[in-house]
Structure 1
Amino acid sequence: MTTPDTAATLSAPAAVPASPPVAKKVPVERTHHGDTLADNYEWLREKENPEVVAHLNAEQAYTDAVTAGQESLRTDIFNEIKNRTQETDLSVPSRKDGWWYYSRMVEGSAYSIQCRVKADGDGSAVADWTPPVVEPGVDVPGEQVILDGNAEAEGKPFFSLGGAAVTRDGNLYAYAVDNAGDELFTVRIKDLRTGELLEDTIENVFYGLTFSPDGSTLYYMLADDSWRPYQVKTHILGTTVDQDEVLYQEDDVAMWTGFGLSSDRRHLVISIGCSEFSEARLLAFDAPEKGLQTLIPRSEQILYDAEPFLWEGAEKVLLTHDRDAVNSMISLVDAAEFAKPLGDQVWATVIAHDDAVRINGATVTATHMVVSLRKDTIERIQVTALEGLGAAEQAAGVEPAFDEELYTTQMGGTEFESPEIRLVYTSDFTPPRVYDFALPTAALPRGELFLRKETPVLGGYRPSDYVASREWATADDGTKVPLSVLRRSDLVPDGSNAGVVYGYGSYEVSMDPGFGVPRLSLLDRGVVFVIAHVRGGGEMGRHWYEDGKKLHKKNTFSDFVAATDWLAQSGWVDPARIGAMGGSAGGLLMGAVANLAPEKYAAIVAQVPFVDALTTILDPDLPLSALEWEEWGNPITDPEVYKYMKEYTPYENVRAVAYPKIAAVTSFNDTRVLYVEPAKWVQELREVSTGSEPIVLKIEMDGGHGGASGRYEGWKTRAWDYAFLADAIGATTLR
């Protein structure tokens, strides 16, 4: 065990072998609501400026020099991740249109290989839906390689798939590739009968692809200059791209657009919305001449998702909505009702509103409704027979039963006609499991779980070596904040251990229990790892989210500090050995707590951090800025929002205090949080900090929001982050 004295030695400041790069100051004034701010480093936004590129390369050189002593630790953590991972592995096959689809990973290869094999039976028998046993490293008779990501990535600085679709006859495969990290993709179409690519190629496409039922038309999405998805277009195979037509265009800069198929694949569903209200438009494939049908217009200010389906010859729509239901509820509506004014429509309640249950969404199979919900912080799945749905005699919902207290279960995809649904289950120390859940019948009223696979973890991993518990911190206003506390089971609560606090807390995103191989490397070095489920996330329902957004956003930051205080006072750790980590909006959280309570942390890792949020949101032409208004408020038009944001945005609140070690991790081609935000932030921190701890900018020049591509590069990135923290908190030695 590492003693406090040893920890002090390990984390003592080392001689910095290089001076940090100092960016020149070019003051640019910004004035809003009578307030003027002079920004010295806004010029770093000039991505094509050679001086900017040179500065960023100098930052990386400085980071490499400062962290050179961590190289051995990084290598150890990388190897631990690699040695615990079964590199030659594959997914559980999923049946679709007479084929079993799955992916392979091969040792030594960075990317997955997409494969399929012909299915037996016509799908009418339950046995037809039992996936074939496909073993790692074993050839499968009749296997067809659809796409080898390693071949696609060869010679490219970056590779990522942004969507794929197969025609119902199984002949054509459309796929989208990003080779820059900017999340704009090139779409190509492959004839799976010959392996040849069609001449059809579409550039600069956003996420989302699907074919029409006859396979003659491909639907795809474009983003505008602000990286906002706004156009759904149709491409008729064999024509040129300039002939593609716009099926739908969204001109409201504050609305996000997406599309997908209904579960029965009879409709294309276009979803337009923000976090506060939405609008769904349907295209019926059997009557395309009718065009798009709007269900509930956005003017009604209802947040909803729509699942159209045919039941007993009648067109129905299953609605998950927040109409008089802050946590959402589910209603069943005859499609004809949407032609009436909203007040005259008849909606049958399927699941009533409950303050203790958050309804996340619902879909249907040919026989059942499948609901994703959250209760007692846990995400779970519930199924109900369609027979009698919305009526007084509606059958009770059935949930698959699991043994653990803290877990996550989510839909893993299913076919409309299948008698089973695919589930993915995990917990903090249970590797992901894939189940098929046989839907309840009269003969099997509770359904039945079939374990198809548990992700193997090598290196002698034993779940019993670790413990996950639910604890509660108390925020400044008395609110109880849930914590997930992870540690080794043999750790002694003697007040000498190291700790890490992790958080996110925005967009109603929940940090649900989930297994992670890399995190074991910290736990095995005696770290107590705390996940703070702060307000702004979705763990405790819609109110939890609303209490951490807009003019309540500071609750997110104070909740995280309260979680840190809980850990410092828990008896498990030495308060001087606590680090913090978060990414994207969680990176904003890191910047905010660094300003609020720098003395509470030995080190902070801010991954792709949104630390200059006010500058970004004040410019609606920057990527995603207008879409952020419903999360943070609109500081352009609202002086109260402007004032409130200026009080917490990290870049504008750097102050003369001794900051801890800080690593800002970013990528040059990130389109979500531009590299300029952390680049400016570290300059301001270095200039103002009264301390002597190094503040570094780690930048991946060929990466995007998720860093460099490929699993090995991903492991290296995680090893870098964890080594930086472990070195600072004196947790470098395995127990």
Structure 2
Amino acid sequence: MAKSKAVFQNLPSPPKAPKKPVSDTRHGITRSDDYAWMRADNWQAMFKDPSILDPAIRAHLEAENAYMEAALGDTAELQSRLFAEMKGRIKEDDSSVPVKDGPFAYGTLYVTGGEQAHYFRTPRDGGERQLLLDGDKEAVGKDYFRLSGIDHSTDHSHGIWGYDDKGSEYFTLRVRDLKTGEDLADVIDNTAGGGVWAPDGKSFFYTLQDENHRPSKVFHHIVGQKQSEDRLVFEERDPGFFMGVGGSLLDDVIYIDIHDHETSEYHLIPTSDLTANPVLVAERQEGIEYSMTEGGDVFYILTNADDAKDFKIVVAPVSAPGKENWTDLVAHEPGRLILSHMAFARHLVWLERREGLPRIVVRDRTSGEEHAIAFDEEAYSLGLAGAAEYDTDVIRFSYSSMTTPSQLFDYNMATRERTLLKTQEVPSGHDADDYVTRRVMAPSHDGELVPVSLLYRKDTVLDGSAPCLLYGYGAYGMTIPASFSTNALSLADRGFVYAIAHVRGGKDKGFAWYEDGKMEAKQNTFKDFIAAADHLVTQGFTAYDSIIAEGGSAGGMLMGAIANMAPEKFAGIIAAVPFVDVLNTMLDDTLPLTPPEWPEWGNPLESEEEYQWIAAYSPYDNVAKKDYPPILAISGLTDPRVTYWEPTKWVARLRDTAPEAGPYLLKTNMAAGHGGKSGRFQRLEEIAFEYAFAIKVAGKM
């Protein structure tokens, strides 16, 4: 690790944050937080207007940015080269394969030099392209601009489109006349980003974000009226639950989906009576999840009820969809995790995962005959795109591996014919035979085997000298796919081994893999990641002084934890929007995500035991005088998910507690939120910045 620190020479003095201790006592335990002042009192208003940020906080963030620039200023040329490489692998004037829906086919495209998507449609069977929404035009003059897409009405006359121009994830909705291209007077603020049209195209449903950034209300908007006149359809009063609204392929029903990370509940509105009160399907029951898709006179329901840990599919009549009428159709099979499902006129389709690898299964609704779509590579990614129409035999799916560019297929479920529609084009050239993708299994502390997906050049010498970027996440049951990344090639081409550790907390090996990485078992996530690093070293792929660890959001919390637990095993750490102040955040129920997150991490407000779980690993609370490697933390000023003050406080405490270690660098995007900059090339600039840090730390500049 000493060599990684040696690359940082003659740095100016880092910013020193003043200490203003604030004490907090819970369950008879008193903690002191020297940097609580970094949390702006007006944070909610600041997310909508960043200019009102406390000047003292702004000055500190700008000082941190200046220090970061000084430390990484010598990578400017490298960042430019990386950016040029990454941009060169993207087809600038690319377009999607349009999806057929009624008389039209809808798609997206990008223009040369453009940052934002353009949305278009053509006649169903080909013809002149009609531009519906020009994202680049809408973004003019804005430092940040993110589209939520455009959703056309059932009669194809209008579209709802949404945008966020602060990075705070409060979206404004507009209604566009798709014939004229003009926006109507309708303006709906503070939404979750989209809406669902009623079949007549004259009204739609949307969710409103409350003052704590939670989608808690569903409204019905009639085109032409003011937002203040919209009818409240449903309100979720429990702050621990999120809410979404969706529609069905048959346009017969509006779904209101209420959920946290382990419990769900659905309410239905028949589109035959838009004024009807939403009807409850199955009352929420802690730990029971379900999701629905319509199949004519029945609903197909994906659920983990009745101890179906890896989920099963049940069927229920549309006229009486309550739990008492659920009948098993696709039985629970331990080790076979069903991830999602869709119903069509003649087929039922689902995406499942076995032994860590995905496959698509098609079931004939009449005969019950099933067949699967799968691939042979050691590690790959498979995505079910479905279709926009119900009465069809053709679905769409995507496939890629770490060496194989993304391929898009149409698949005829009746004939089993597979039609390749598009292969991702890499303009600068890509020969899959120059690279190797592998999956190895790393033994963890308790004997569990952790899958690790690898990408490296075929000519890379695996004698323990190769640098390695080891990525991890491990939360919310999210599976990190072993998919193709044009960006990762820039590391592989420089002799790196690019690795993804599929640690517990995700569903990479089934639902139990998720359960064994949350709540009281959270430390398995961290130990799995360290075990992955150990295995890569013992197998000769790399060395401890050549591993750069990377993770974002909850994966950034993973980075903070492994920094405290095993700093000697990493040459450097990249923590993007890192959730590192876990205990303070879970104790603050006014923050946007806190109540819905309690089933994931624990509720330290109510339970001393759960307080102790979190206190034992919370990165900010466990900083100690250790020989930390160089750390790069990245945050967004208007981020509602991981607030800017978490990484800011963490860096300040690291620098105060272990000043001889590091260095500790903080980059705050002053005009962005959780996802960083919004443009497709702006995002490449950020990745180039992160990779430049990794390459510098590895001594490969």
TM-score by length of 1: 0.91
**Alpha-carbon distance between aligned partners in 2 of 1:17 and 1:217, rounded to the nearest angstrom:** 59
Which of 387, 395, 401 in structure 2 is aligned with 1:421?
A: 395
Q: Structure 1 pair 690/177, CA: closer, same or farther in 2 (3 Å)?
A: closer
Indicate if the aligned counterparts of 2:7 and 2:696 stay in contact, CA closer than 8 A: no
In 2, the alpha carbon distance for the partners of 1:74 and 1:300 equals 48
Return the alpha-carbon distance in structure 2 between the equivalents of residues 239 and 20 of structure 1.
54
Conservation of the 8 A alpha-carbon contact between 2:144 and 2:166: yes
Q: Name the SS for the 2:513 alignment partner.
A: helix
Find 2:284's aligned residue among 298, 301, 323.
298
Among 298, 308, 316, the residue aligned to 2:298: 316
Query: Deviation per CA, 1:560-584, whole angstroms, max 9, x where unpaired?
Result: 0101111121112233111100000
Cα RMSD between the aligned structures? 1.6
Amino acid at match of 1:475: S
Q: Secondary structure at the match of 2:642?
A: coil
Q: Which residue of 1 aligns with 2:106?
A: 101
Residue of structure 2 in register with 1:177 after alignment:
163
The answer to whether residue 418 in structure 2 is matched with residue 439 in structure 1 is: no
TM-fit CA distance, 1:308: 2.7
Is the 8 Å Cα contact of residues 659 and 690 (structure 1) preserved in structure 2? no
Query: Separation in 2 of the partners of 1:574 and 1:374?
Result: 32
Offset of 1:11 from its aligned partner? 6.2
Equivalent in the alignment of 2:81: 76
Match of 1:654 among 623, 643, 651: 623
CA contact (8 A) 2:86 2:487 kept: yes
Q: For 1:592-611, what aligned pairs fall within 5 Å after superposition?
A: 592-611=561-580
**Equivalent position SS for 1:157:** coil
| Equivalent pair of 1:264/1:365 in contact (CA under 8 Å) | no
Select the residue among 508, 533, 541 that pairs with 1:539.
508
3-state DSSP class of the match of 1:281?
A: strand
Summarize deviations over 1:562-618 as a string: whole Å, max 9, x none.
Answer: 011111211122331111000000000000000000011110000000000110111
Please report how far the alpha carbon of residue 698 of structure 1 lies from its aligned counterpart in structure 2 after TM superposition: 0.6
The superposition leaves residues 308-332 of structure 1 with CA deviations (integer Å, 9 ceiling, x where unpaired) of: 331xxxx311111111201110111
- 1:125 corresponds in structure 2 to none
1:718 corresponds in structure 2 to 687
The amino acid across from 2:313 in the alignment is I
Residue 644 of structure 1: aligned partner: 613
Does residue 493 in structure 1 map to residue 475 in structure 2?
A: no
Of residues 443, 465, 473, the one that matches 1:504 is 473
Superposed CA deviations along residues 163-213 of structure 1, whole A, max 9, x for unmatched, are: 421112211111001111111111111112122211111111113311100
How far 1:677 sits from its partner (Å)? Answer: 0.1
- Distance apart, 1:349 and its partner CA: 2.0
- Cα offsets for 1:130-184 (capped at 9, x unmatched): xx5xxxxxxxx52111011100000011111124211122111110011111111
Would you say the 8 A contact 2:408–2:422 is kept in 1?
Answer: yes
Structure 1: gaps spanning 5 or more residues: 1-6, 121-131, 133-140, 389-393
8 Å Cα contact 1:360-1:372 kept in structure 2: yes
Q: What's the counterpart of residue 665 of structure 1? A: 634
CA shift, 1:277, in A, is 1.8
**In structure 1, distance between residues paired with 2:9 and 2:650:** 23
Question: Is contact 2:172–2:187 with CA below 8 Å preserved after alignment?
Answer: yes
Checking the alignment, whether the CA contact within 8 Å between 2:4 and 2:630 is kept in structure 1 is no
On the 8 A contact 1:208/1:260 being kept in 2, the answer is: no
Whole-angstrom distance in 1 between the partners of 2:6 and 2:220: 60
Amino acid at match of 2:413: L
Query: Which amino acid in 2 is paired with 1:360?
Result: L
Q: C-alpha displacement at 1:8, in angstroms?
A: 8.1
The equivalent of 2:359 in structure 1 is: 380
The equivalent of 1:138 in structure 2 is none
Query: How far is 1:412 from its partner?
Result: 1.6
Q: In structure 2, the residue corresponding to 1:207 is in which secondary structure?
A: strand
> Which residue of 2 is the match for residue 35 of structure 1?
29
Letter in 1 for 2:300: L
SS of residue in 2 equivalent to 1:497 = coil
Match of 2:487, SS?
Answer: helix
Q: Does 1:284 align with 2:270?
A: yes
Which moves more between the two structures, 707-716 or 673-682?
Answer: 707-716
Give the aligned partner of residue 274 of structure 1.
260
Q: Equivalent residue of 1:263, what SS?
A: coil
Equivalent residue in structure 1 for 2:526, among 545, 549, 557: 557
Cα shift at 1:301: 5.2
Q: Deviations over 1:598-654 (max 9, x none)?
A: 011110000000000110111110111001001001111010010110010000000
The amino acid across from 2:643 in the alignment is L
Q: How far apart, in 2, do the equivalents of 1:17 and 1:548 lie?
A: 39
Q: How does 1:398-413 map to 2 (within 5 A)?
A: 398-413=371-386
Other structure's SS at 1:450 match: strand
| Equivalent pair of 1:8/1:730 in contact (CA under 8 Å) | no
Q: CA deviation at 1:298?
A: 0.7
The Cα shift of 1:83 comes to 1.3
Asked if structure 1 preserves the Cα contact closer than 8 Å seen for 2:5 and 2:662, the reply is no
After TM superposition, the score normalised by the length of structure 2 is: 0.96
SS in 2 for 1:576: helix
Bigger CA drift: 596-605 or 80-89? 80-89
The one-letter amino acid paired with 2:176 is: K
Distance in 1 (CA, whole Å) between partners of 2:132 and 2:186 is 18
Cα deviations by residue, 1:657-710 (Å, 9 ceiling, x for unpaired): 111000001111111100100000000001111534311101110011110110
Task: Tell me the residue number matched to 1:44.
Answer: 38
Separation of aligned partners in 1, 2:648 and 2:436: 38
Cα distance in 2 for residues equivalent to 1:502 and 1:361 = 25
Number of the residue aligned with 1:60: 65
The alignment partner of 2:546 has SS state of strand
Alpha-carbon offset, residue 411 of structure 1: 1.6
How far apart are the structure 2 equivalents of 1:32 and 1:200?
48
- 1:349 is aligned to 328
Matched with 1:368 is 347
Distance in 1 of aligned mates of 2:320 and 2:207: 30
2:5 and 2:630 in contact (8 A); partners too: no
Query: Following the alignment from structure 1 to structure 2, what is the Cα–Cα distance between the partners of residues 602 and 299?
Result: 46
1:519 is matched with which residue? 488
Asked if 2 retains the 8 angstrom alpha-carbon contact of 1:500 and 1:527, the reply is: yes
Alignment partners' CA distance in 2, 1:25 and 1:693: 20
Distance 1:454 1:53 in 2: 46
* d(CA) in 2 for partners of 1:81, 1:97: 38
Query: For 1:615, what is the secondary structure of its paired residue?
Result: helix
CA distance in 1, matches of 2:203, 2:166: 27
- Structure 1 residue 483, shift from structure 2 partner: 0.9
For residues 360-386 of structure 1, what are the alpha-carbon distances to aligned partners after superposition, in whole Å with 9 as ceiling and x for unaligned?
121111111111111111122111112
Question: Match for 1:236 among 203, 206, 222?
Answer: 222
Instruction: Please state if 1:18 is matched with 2:12.
Output: yes
> In the TM superposition, what is the alpha-carbon distance from 1:413 to its structure 2 partner?
3.5
Instruction: Tell me which amino acid in the other structure corresponds to 1:402.
Output: F
Aligned residue in 2 for 1:4: none
Displacement of 1:300 in angstroms is 7.2
Query: How has the CA–CA distance of structure 1 residues 489 and 250 changed in structure 2, closer, same or farther, with 3 Å as cutoff?
Result: same
Contact 2:378-2:439 within 8 A present in 1 as well:
no
* Rounded Cα–Cα distance in structure 2 between residues aligned with 1:74 and 1:10: 18
**Aligned counterparts of 1:557 and 1:402: Cα–Cα separation in 2:** 31
Amino acid across the alignment from 1:110:
E
Retained in 2: the 8 A contact 1:382–1:399? yes
1:335 Cα offset (Å): 3.2
**2:278, 2:244 → 1: CA distance?**
14
Question: 1:10 deviation in Å?
Answer: 7.9
**Any conservation in 2 of the 1:210–1:260 contact (CA below 8 Å)?**
yes
**Alignment gaps of 5+ in structure 2:** 44-52
**1:195 pairs with 2:169:** no
Cα separation, 2, equivalents of 1:405 and 1:9 = 34
Q: Residues 625 and 10 (structure 1 numbering): CA distance in 2 closer, same or farther, change over 3 Å?
A: closer
The verdict on how the C-alpha distance between 1:67 and 1:176 changes in structure 2, with shifts beyond 3 A counting, is same
Q: Secondary structure at the match of 1:362?
A: strand
SS at match of 2:385: strand
What is the alpha-carbon distance in structure 2 between the residues aligned to residue 618 and residue 63 of structure 1?
31
